[in-house]
Amino acid sequence: MKQENSRRTLERFLPMQVRAVTEGEDNRVFELSFSSEEPYMRWFGPEILDHSGEACDLSRLQELGVVLFNHDRNAVLGKITRAWIEDNRGKAEIAFDDDEFAETIRKKVAGGTLRGVSVGYRVDNWEEVTAGGTSVDGRFTGPCSIARHWLPYEVSIVSVPADATVGVGRELESEQCSAVSLCERQLQINKNHFKEELNT
């Protein structure tokens, strides 16, 4: 069952899997992974980003995608030149700008000092799967919330990864979480339980 979301900003951290696109000390172009289907613990339980079919809308990254430092909109490091889905992972090719700040971060990425990447995204449709239940496509077992249509809009190089309970990303999420959002989730869970009872 799909559910509309309140469209708040979400962030998710991954250890950086990065490689230089070309060899050389001054290489400015890198390829990295920014998302996966690995469950991520949120305040409402495990969240899974669906990477199948048309689930991930890459249009914003393709058209306006930027690379930020620590999700700071005033700390632009470069641009996303290409984004795609491969092996159930979101991948991007990024090009660092040549200003002093971007160059400092580029060197830290190339040298392995900075190894965290995070993605900022919005979820438009959720599928709620109850404990012991299976998702509509049979790929995931509950309890979990599956982002069935989601839009990544920026990729960040991060110095200190946020975990599920602390940090800027979690703080922003909890501030923007409303009682209405909680009620919508509970209603969806109740609907799922009701459907299961009808089917037995």
Looking at residue 32, its pLDDT comes to: 87
Alpha-carbon distance 38 to 48, whole Å? 6
Run of H or E residues at 14:
strand 10-15
Residue 39: pLDDT over 50: yes
> Does residue 173 carry a pLDDT above 50?
no
Domain count, the chain: 1
The conformation of residue 186, written as its DSSP 8-state character, comes to H
What is the per-residue pLDDT for 199? 63
What percentage of the chain exceeds 90 in pLDDT? 42
Cβ(68)–Cβ(161) below 8 Å = no
User: Among residues of the chain, what percentage have pLDDT more than 70?
Assistant: 66
- Residue 172 pLDDT more than 50? no
pLDDT for the residue numbered 33: 87
Query: 11-20, 67-76, 141-150, 191-200: which range is least confident on average?
Result: 11-20
Mean pLDDT, the chain, rounded, equals 77
User: Higher-confidence residue: 70 or 20?
Assistant: 70
Domain that holds residue 34: 2-199
The model carries a pTM of 0.71
Distance from C-alpha of 94 to C-alpha of 108, rounded to nearest angstrom: 15
Which range is most confident: 7-16, 38-47, 173-182?
A: 38-47
Would you say residue 112 has pLDDT above 50? yes
Render 60-101 in DSSP notation, one character per residue: HHHHH-EEEETTEEEEEEEEEEEEEEETTEEEEEEEE--SHH
Supply the pLDDT for residue 40. 87
Residues 6+ away with beta carbon under 8 Å from 99: none
Band of residue 8 on the pLDDT scale cut at 50, 70, 90: low
Local confidence band at 177 (pLDDT 50, 70, 90 cut-offs): very low
